[in-house]
Amino acid sequence: MSDVFDIMEATVAGIHGAMRRCELTCAELVEEYVRRIEAYDRTGPALKSVILVNPEAPREAAGHDRTMAGGGPTGTLHGIPVLLKDNVETAGMTTTSGSLSLRNYVPDSDAFIVKRLKAAGALILAKANLHEFAIWGESVSSVLGQSLNPYDLSRTPGGSSGGTGAGVAANFAAVGIGTDTINSIRSPSSACSCVGIRPTLGLVSRSGISPYSLDQDTAGPICRTVADAAIVLDAIAGFDPDDPATAWSVGNMPASYASCLRTDGLEGKRIGVLRSLFGDGPEHEEVNLAMKCCLDEMKEAGAEVIDVDQPFDANHVVSEVSVHLHTLRDDLEGYLDGLGAKTAYRTLEELADSGEVHPGIVDNLRRAASLGRDGDEYRRRTIRRLVLRTRIVKLMADLLLDALVYPHQKRLVVPVGEPQTERNGALASAAGFPAITLPGGFSRPTGDAPVGVPIGIEFMGRPWSEGNLISIAYAFEQRTLFRRTPPFVPPLPRRGPFEL
């Protein structure tokens, strides 16, 4: 690897440029990411973000290098190492969903989105930790334990895709994939100064992914830049015959999401500020201050920022509108049943009694076991979801809004051992609408957080408006450049010419 190339904060475009200039090979890139994982994920700060490194990654990287030498890249993600949440199936690698109950499960085939990533030239570098079965937001599992935030080791990285968020933030891979049922892509993106996209329900396939709620589940990118997130979304979006919901994507996608990257993407846009999703206590001060700076930057970039006085309440959405617990039994038990002899468990009750799940999810498993789509409460919530969808789009139509904006989390991401509270992502997930979270600043530095704790800003739009959201987010990102490298995972010393 040339001394010119710096792996820290490397982007897809930067990696490809270095490869074309013969400053970097895919094999060298994989080696350097694995070095970082070995140095920082089990030792040093011990982030516990990575469950498994792909043992075939060096061999696959060598194949990518031969392809490059023989005529150039095979796709938009050629040779790009991906950190994949471990509820996404990978042929030949365990897919545990963070649970000891599935520690020996090796799928026979890749999930649809993994096939799409590989078709674009990517390689799966590693599988990331998650909150077990993606059931909550602290990113703790029976397989690996608690993942830590690389900006403040006393805090969680958000969740449930916290291993992906922490690992991507720590430069353990070029890009990452998470899943999102309520907050789970955007929470770690907010907490780890990353960019996360929750797509419109139906844009990205869920086949081959352990489900929480097929009414609300989706997969999406977690990256360090908006541009990389757009490139990854291009690779994974689109129709999958095995996921009927993706039929809605046909005719609703631009030619390329990467083509929506515009530095003037805020100019002339009308952005509605959902003031009801801000806090008003002392614990909210740091986030509110950061958001004020964000809104000022939008105005200076030519956006019209409009305060919206509508009583949206994310906690109410979770407790009274979201159907996640009412679908978990049907969807997860259906998935387990499909695994056949590869798992000893078929029901939520069996999992709860197994001793092979983290104690923190047992109550939710037992509660969900008594619920289902056949209940009156599920039907009531389904109607409330439709009402919420209409309420949001009517608000945007009445005020001629291009997007809505709010802090992803009203307060800083919580310390380890506390429940993840005051997140606002449920509004988009219960409605099935797209949202993008990206760096919105940092709290004041402390001894535990030398550069501060990341604060995420979230934009939400109408269904199928990912291109518009990417344009807005890219303009905001390029104007502010808030992201910083985590302090606890610095660059490693370069290897000498005779080191193996």
- What is the SS3 string spanning the chain? CCCCCCCCCCCHHHHHHHHHCCCCCHHHHHHHHHHHHHHHCCCCCCCCCEEEECCCHHHHHHHHHHHHHHHCCCCCCCCCEEEEECCECECCECCCCCCHHHCCCCCCCCCHHHHHHHHCCCEEEEEECCCHHHCCCCCEECCCEECCECCECCECCCCCCHHHHHHHHCCCCCEEEEEECCCCCHHHHHHCCCEEEECCCCCECCCCECCCCCCCCEEEEEECCHHHHHHHHHHHECCECCEHHHHHHCCCCCCCCHHHCCCCCCCCCEEEEEHHHCCCCHHHHHHHHHHHHHHHHHHHCCCEEEEECCCCCHHHHHHHHCCHHHHHHHHHHHHHHHCHHHCCCCCHHHHHHCCCCCHHHHHHHHHHHCCCCCCHHHHHHHHHHHHHHHHHHHHHHHCCCCEEEEECECCCCCECCCCCCCECCHHHHHHCCCEEEEEEEECCCCCCCCCCCEEEEEEECCCCCHHHHHHHHHHHHHHHCCCCCCCCCCCCCCCCCCCC
In a domain, 494, yes or no: no
The mean pLDDT value for 190-207 works out to 99
Residue 4: pLDDT band with limits 50, 70, 90: confident
Residue 406, pLDDT > 60, answer yes
The CATH number given to whatever domain includes residue 192 is 3.90.1300.10
Whether 467 contacts 230, CB under 8 Å? no
In a domain, 488, yes or no: no
Active site residue 184: yes
Which is catalytic among the residues 147, 160, 190, 471?
A: 160
Domain that holds residue 176: 12-480
If you average pLDDT over every residue of the chain, what do you get?
Answer: 97
The token duo for 343 is 């798992």
In a domain, 497, yes or no: no
The mean pLDDT value for 462-473 works out to 99
In a domain, 6, yes or no: no
Q: For residue 71, what pLDDT is reported?
A: 84
Residue 498, pLDDT > 90, answer no
The mean pLDDT value for 385-391 works out to 99
In a domain, 495, yes or no: no
Residue 359, pLDDT > 70, answer yes
In a domain, 490, yes or no: no
In a domain, 274, yes or no: yes
- For strands 270-274 and 304-308, give the pairing: parallel
Q: For residue 130, what pLDDT is reported?
A: 99
Residue 495: pLDDT band with limits 50, 70, 90: confident
CA angle 477-481-485, nearest 5°?
A: 120
Q: For residue 3, what pLDDT is reported?
A: 76
The token duo for 298 is 């939008």
Active site residue 160: yes
Q: Give the rounded percent of residues in the chain with a pLDDT score beyond 90.
A: 97
**pLDDT tens string 40-95:** 999 999 999 999 999 999 999 999 999 999 887 889 999 999 999 999 999 999 99
Q: In angstroms, what is the C-alpha Rg of the chain?
A: 21
Q: What are phi and psi of 317, to 5 degrees?
A: -60, -45
Domain count, the chain: 1
Which is catalytic among the residues 48, 49, 85, 205?
A: 85
Q: What are phi and psi of 128, to 5 degrees?
A: -100, 150
In a domain, 442, yes or no: yes
Residue 241, pLDDT > 60, answer yes
Residue 378: pLDDT band with limits 50, 70, 90: very high
Residue 499, pLDDT > 60, answer no
Active site residue 205: no
The mean pLDDT value for 290-311 works out to 98
- For strands 145-146 and 270-274, give the pairing: unpaired
Which is catalytic among the residues 184, 187, 190, 210?
A: 184
Residue 500, pLDDT > 60, answer no
Residue 496: pLDDT band with limits 50, 70, 90: low
The mean pLDDT value for 202-231 works out to 99
Q: For residue 433, what pLDDT is reported?
A: 99
Whether 396 contacts 462, CB under 8 Å? yes
What residue type is 144 in one-letter code? L
